[in-house]
Amino acid sequence: MSRLRLGVMVSGRGSNLQAIIDQIESGRLDAEIAVVVSNRANVAALERAKRHGVPTAVFERAEFASRHERDMAMTRCLREARLDLVVMAGYDQLVADELLNEFAGRIINIHPSLLPAFAGGLHAQADAVEYGVKISGCTVHFVTVGPADGGPIILQKAVPVYDDDTGDTLSARILEEEHRLLPEAIRLFGQGRIVVNGRKTTIKPAN
């Protein structure tokens, strides 16, 4: 069986991208990153990719007549890379339905909350602290057409919220779990162990 070909979508620091790269380079994840796509130039994630010899492509909104046109160009780039799986690893914008339909069942995202709580926003950790929840965490889910962060959940990890937490301290603790959870979801996908039935997913036992 050939290695899983990944396309990774990023917008910022790229720490989850680095977690994927580290798992691949250590031999714990049987995959290769065919391309890293960013909607922002000059972000740390692109530098991480370049240091590891991973091809990159940048699609800044200002270079296109509309966001939809930008997303169509991004879709073509991902299609041409012949990917098995698209991974949103800190990508900070919604994308066109056409991109999601192109990779239906083959695009996942990591979100810093226990979905469906605090879905759809970029400040889920701070929102959790402000709301006063006692448990937060992170979720890997399939990305589907419809409400943001509304696709079937693959994996979740709970993280306690402490009385003295701020959005930043909770973010850091959740991020540690994201770095473990996202590569594990990719591994399960590559092994064909994720079964989707409507909104629910089950993980088949390893052979």
Query: 1-103: which CATH number, 3.40.640.10, 3.30.1490.20, 3.40.50.360, 3.40.50.170?
Result: 3.40.50.170
What is this structure's pTM? 0.96
Distance (Å) of CA 47 to CA 14, 72, 101, 160: 9, 24, 29, 32
Give the Cα separation of 44 and 64 in Å (integer).
Answer: 23
Residues of the chain with pLDDT under 50: none
Phi, psi (deg, nearest 5) at residue 60: -80, 140
* Number of CB atoms found within 10 A of residue 73's CB: 15
Q: Is 95 left (phi over 0), alpha (psi -120 to 50) or beta?
A: beta
Residues catalogued as catalytic: 111
pLDDT in tens, 21-59: 999 999 999 999 999 999 999 999 999 999 999 999 999
Looking at residue 1, its pLDDT comes to 53
Question: Residue by residue, what is the 3-state secondary structure of 71-88?
Answer: HHHHHHHHHHCCCCEEEE
Q: Does domain 110-141+148-207 bear CATH number 3.40.50.450?
A: no
Looking at residue 35, its pLDDT comes to 98
Looking at residue 154, its pLDDT comes to 98
The alpha carbon of 206 is separated from its chain's Cα centroid by a whole number of angstroms, namely 23
User: What is the domain partition of the chain in residue ranges?
Assistant: 1-103, 110-141+148-207
Is there a common fold for 1-103 and 110-141+148-207?
A: yes
Looking at residue 121, its pLDDT comes to 86
- Burial class of residue 200 (count of CB atoms within 10 Å of its CB; 0-12, 13-18, 19+): exposed
Looking at residue 96, its pLDDT comes to 97
Looking at residue 110, its pLDDT comes to 98
Percentage of the residues of the chain whose pLDDT score is greater than 70: 100
Looking at residue 168, its pLDDT comes to 97
